[in-house]
Amino acid sequence: MTRPEPVPASLPAPVPAPLAPGSTIGILGGGQLGRMSAMAAARLGYRCHVFSPEPDSPGMQVAAAHTLAAYDDAEALNRFAGSVDVVTFEFENVPVATLRALEGRVPCRPGTKALSICQDRVAEKRFLAEAGVPVAPWREVASESELEAAIAEIGLPAVLKTTRLGYDGRGQAVLRRAEDAAPAFARLAPRPLILEAFVPFSAEISGIAARGLDGAVATYDAIENRHRHHILDLSFAPARLPEAAAGAARSHVARVAAALELVGVVALEMFLLPDGSLLGNEIAPRPHNSGHWTMDACLCGQFEQHVRAVAGLPLGSPARHADAVMRNLVGPEGLAAWPGMVAREDVVAHWYGKVEARPGRKLGHANRLLPLNALGALDDVAAQSF
């Protein structure tokens, strides 16, 4: 008689089947990232149900269904969970408790691990170091005396930041002199805070990656970013930087996606140093502003990629078929620029459905497409001329 083969102590869990066309993806958050994700989902045959406390949000305008409720509304969350086949989120300030309440009812991709790490700068810095991504010197500070000690170790200038809820330059202060410390500490909350060394970088770089339900990872070309008033203004794809640094950017973000066990899209913001090395700065576990160029310059853009991952489909190709410059359309200036962007033959313009053009508010973006390998031959003025 033939003996049966021994069964391994543990077998990898089978990968769930992809969602069938007509299934519903739940999106926590109704901003423009949710809007563009819902539009990509519709093209792949999925419906989206947006859950947001903000009425008439950009995502709600294009979704098949929406729930207008607070993120801690247990009854609304219960109804939401019963109406969707999978849940994702479009920004990382959704309460972790909200995702935990849903995880027992419906698959959540990404899950609470990615969300909780990326909501806390201290946890994020520790995670990056453990994942093998170098970071600038930093210290956690909970009191003025700890801040003084951290300054003595790290030196000045340095950047004092909140550990939670900071974005687009909010929740941080640059300390250039010792006397800057006390007023900055008094102003910033919640605590603890984090003090980071001021990095004399040559450029700000971001990497975008997607990780599928089967563990496959796809990375996009590294991106060079320019900011204005702490808000992303321009992104150049591909980044104009040495080949080794471009490869390192892709490797770093792929490592982050794998270590987070993420299912979806993740962005890693980095600093390029004068010696060509990179330092990790911040992680965003969702599609990212600096990846908007992929919508028009790649075979599979970041929003379709996110939907593919969340739905369990194979990842698409991140290959770039054009060089691109992405410009954010922000506030009254962005509104004024819109007609000209729509009129250009080399630009694909995207509007987010927001009515009020407040200063600092992202209203849309425009992708200027160039032939492959053309961007590197342009000087800075020519590259930005749109």
Cis geometry, peptide bond prior to residue 21 (ω within 30 degrees of 0): no
**Helix (H), strand (E) counts: the chain:** 12, 17
- pLDDT of residue 9 exceeding 60, the answer is no
**DSSP string computed for 130-163:** HTT--B--EEEESSHHHHHHHHHHH-SSEEEEES
Q: Which has the closest alpha carbon to 369: 261, 237, 241?
A: 237
Q: d(Cα 286, Cα 262) in Å, to the nearest integer?
A: 10
Quickly name the fold that domain 24-108 has.
Rossmann fold (3.40.50)
* Displacement of CA 179 from its chain's centroid (Å): 35
Indicate the domain borders of the chain: 24-108, 137-197, 203-383
Write the pLDDT tens digit of every residue in 274-304: 999 999 999 999 999 999 999 999 999 999 9
- Residue 164's pLDDT band (cuts 50, 70, 90): confident
**DSSP string computed for 318-363:** --BSSEEEEEEEEHHHHHHHHHHHHH-TTEEEEE-------TT-EE
- Residue 312's pLDDT band (cuts 50, 70, 90): very high
**DSSP string computed for 86-131:** EEEESSTTS-HHHHHHHHTTS-BSS-HHHHHHHT-HHHHHHHHHHT
- pLDDT of residue 356 exceeding 50, the answer is yes
Do 24-108 and 203-383 have matching folds?
no
Token pair of 27 as six digits: 């999106």
Segment of 9-13, 124-128, 378-382 carrying the highest mean pLDDT = 124-128
- Residue 104's pLDDT band (cuts 50, 70, 90): confident
Q: Considering the chain, what is the average pLDDT of its residues?
A: 94
Please say whether the dihedral angle defined by the alpha carbons of residues 242, 247, 250 and 255, taken in this order, is positive or negative.
negative
Q: Which 3 state secondary structure label does DSSP give 372?
A: coil
What pLDDT is recorded for position 166? Answer: 61
Q: What is the CA radius of gyration of the chain?
A: 22
- Residue 4's pLDDT band (cuts 50, 70, 90): very low
Q: Look up the CATH number of domain 137-197.
A: 3.30.1490.20
CA dihedral 318, 319, 325, 329 (to 10 degrees): -30
Residues 6+ apart with CB under 8 A from 160: 141, 147, 172, 173, 174, 175, 181, 184, 185, 188, 193, 194, 195
384 C-beta neighbours (distance < 10 Å), count: 15
Write the pLDDT tens digit of every residue in 167-219: 655 789 999 999 999 999 999 988 899 999 999 999 999 999 999 999 999 99
Token pair of 164 as six digits: 């939670």
Pick the CATH number of 203-383 from 3.30.470.20, 1.20.58.1290, 3.30.930.10, 2.60.40.10: 3.30.470.20
How many Cα atoms sit within 13 Å of 200 on the Cβ side?
4
Write the pLDDT tens digit of every residue in 138-155: 999 999 999 999 999 999
